[in-house]
Amino acid sequence: MAETVFAPWNDPQEKPLIQFKGVTKRFGEFTAIDDLTIDIFEREFFALLGPSGCGKTTMMRMLAGFETPTEGQILLGGQDIGQVPPNKRSVNMMFQSYALFPHLSIWENIAFGLKREGRDKAYIGDRVQDMLRLTRMEKFAQRKPHQVSGGQRQRVALARSLAKAPKLLLLDEPLGALDKKLREETQFELMDIQETTGTTFVIVTHDQEEAMTVASRVAVMDHGKIIQVSTPDVIYEAPNSVYVADFIGDVNLFRGKATARPEAPATPAPQVDSTPEHTPDPAPEETQSAPQEAPARVAQPNDLGKWLHDKILHPVLGKRIDHTPALPAPTAQELANPMSPPAVEPASAPVAQVEIPAGGIEITWAEGQPSVIATNGDPTHDGKEVVLALRPEKIAISKDKPTAPNVLQGKVIDIGYLGNISTYHVELAGGLMVKAQVTNTRRISRRHITWEDEVWLSFSSTAGVVLEK
Ligand SMILES: Nc1ncnc2c1ncn2[C@@H]1O[C@H](COP(=O)(O)OP(=O)(O)OP(=O)(O)O)[C@@H](O)[C@H]1O
Ligand SMILES: [Mg+2]
């Protein structure tokens, strides 16, 4: 099948368009870019994101040729551009203050760079027409910049930057001047234009939503370094550090000590008279306590059927809805005497039990609070201080105690109503403030959780990302 996913960064054969190789930029004593190495590929829409002063503009200015690296190399199409002057690079930079010439018409503004290049009239005419069409500004060609709206001016600036057909267009906060709605519209236009022209875009933005919307990959920077570079979904769902998790979107951080959870026992193949997998016991956490080489024990009639279903029928017929709680492997006592009753009294268990996969870690984050189970956590973190980063939309909120791997009690302190979603600020018993986000599928009058309500927050055992402190 043809390759449909655009991911040149995963292809070792692919040659990057831009390469920063150990680039450092110092201004006197101050290090603005610190030993930075990165590859950016042709046709990428690459976003640089980071706090003010982290070095985004400096990176762009070095690419455009307005600054030279103190150390390291910048390659464009495999060629070191260190000594190539700005006007000889196939790079165009659209600055945040995209000054259009006020006395020139929009048509003349777009044509300006082409005229300076000494292009012939026919070429310029065609090219400007193409750019006007691309940015949907044909109707306004004869107006002056002050006679069009802010968003339209922004599009003219873009048309002007694209007119010379640069290989690479650098956009430093290009939509900064626009209001939210226009900004969002222009983001989609930018993506369209980028796709249509096949130009490589590197955009700087302080707006993380904008970066997530437009970019093929996002680089999160801090103090002249790139902390993580990846696709927007990976940056959001699998941040590599507390810094990135905190910088991108809303996040709850549970800081605490990790304890490794036991791994699941190996599953031997069943025999007619043995049932290694399950016995009736409602405490799922105990499933991991059995030794790996569990000898066979007496079968219960349902177990072979369950095995047949899971291994043979399920792939053909689809999943059976199974309300039977997970059944643990035999205990040591049972192994010693296969006919003895189970060590744990089934009747003493709560009715509703949730099945939690084995392995991972649990995090003790506050005294007197149930620890948080993260089955996706790395058991080698055992005994270490870790942080569980949990997005608000991964947390459910309810008035009744739910059945879930992680259930915490708290009180609603604040509600942020954004129309489409509401964010509940819930104070847990330990004092930690947690945000839970709910999509408002009902009208506001029917919302049933309000200020001061005692509520339950719940989330799955893989809802968060465990990060080292
Ligand atoms: N010409 C210069 N001389 C001295 N220091 C500079 C110079 N240019 C930039 N810096 C410093 O380098 C650091 C990075 O600046 P840069 O403009 O790249 O930040 P930025 O990430 O673009 O920030 P912002 O989001 O505010 O635009 C800043 O601390 C800045 O003060
Ligand atoms: Mg800047």
Cβ contacts of 462 within 8 Å, gap of 6 or more: 374, 375, 376
Residue type, 351: V
* DSSP conformation class of 312: I
Ligand 1 pocket mutation pick from 23, 36, 56 by most atoms within 8 angstroms of CB? 56
Helices (H), 135-261: 150-163, 180-197, 208-214, 232-237, 242-247
Q: How far is CA 104 from CA 158, 161, 230, 324, 387, in A?
A: 16, 16, 41, 76, 56
Structural domains in the chain, sorted by start: 8-251 (3.40.50.300), 254-259+357-468 (2.40.50.140)
CB atoms within 10 A of CB 448: 8
Look up tokens 């910088």; give the residue. Answer: 247
Ligand 2 center–CA 61 separation, angstroms: 10
Ligand 1 center–CA 55 separation, angstroms: 6
Ligand 2 center–CA 173 separation, angstroms: 8
- pLDDT of 343 reads 34
CB atoms within 10 A of CB 418: 9
Ligand 2 center–CA 55 separation, angstroms: 7
> For 130-158, what is each residue's pLDDT tens digit?
999 988 899 999 999 999 988 888 889 98
Task: With beta carbons less than 8 A apart as the criterion, state whether 263 and 382 touch.
Answer: no
How many CA atoms, within 13 angstroms, populate the side-chain half-sphere of residue 220? 23
Phi, psi of 368 (to 5 degrees): 75, 0
Task: Name the β-bridge partners of 423.
Answer: 416, 437
Look at residue 332 and give its three-state secondary structure.
helix
Q: What is the C-alpha to C-alpha distance for residues 82 and 19, in angstroms, rounded to an integer?
A: 12
User: What does the pLDDT profile of the chain (469 residues) look like in tens digits?
Assistant: 555 789 999 999 999 999 999 999 999 999 999 999 999 999 999 999 999 999 999 999 999 999 999 999 999 999 999 888 888 888 888 775 667 999 999 999 999 999 998 999 999 999 999 999 988 899 999 999 999 988 888 889 988 988 888 889 999 988 876 778 878 888 888 898 899 889 999 999 988 999 999 999 999 999 999 999 999 999 999 999 999 999 998 999 999 999 999 987 776 554 444 333 333 333 333 333 333 333 333 334 355 545 544 554 444 444 433 333 333 444 454 444 444 333 333 333 444 678 888 999 999 999 989 999 999 999 999 999 999 999 999 999 999 999 999 999 999 999 998 888 999 999 998 799 999 999 988 765 555 889 999 999 999 999 999 998 8
Both tokens assigned to 133: 């069409």
Look at residue 213 and give its three-state secondary structure.
helix
Cβ < 6 Å from ligand 1: which residues? 27, 30, 32, 50, 52-58, 206
Task: With beta carbons less than 8 A apart as the criterion, state whether 112 and 160 touch.
Answer: yes
Ligand 1 pocket mutation pick from 23, 26, 27 by most atoms within 8 angstroms of CB? 27
CA-based nearest residue to 44, from 81, 73, 15, 84: 15
Phi, psi of 58 (to 5 degrees): -60, -40
- pLDDT of 309 reads 46
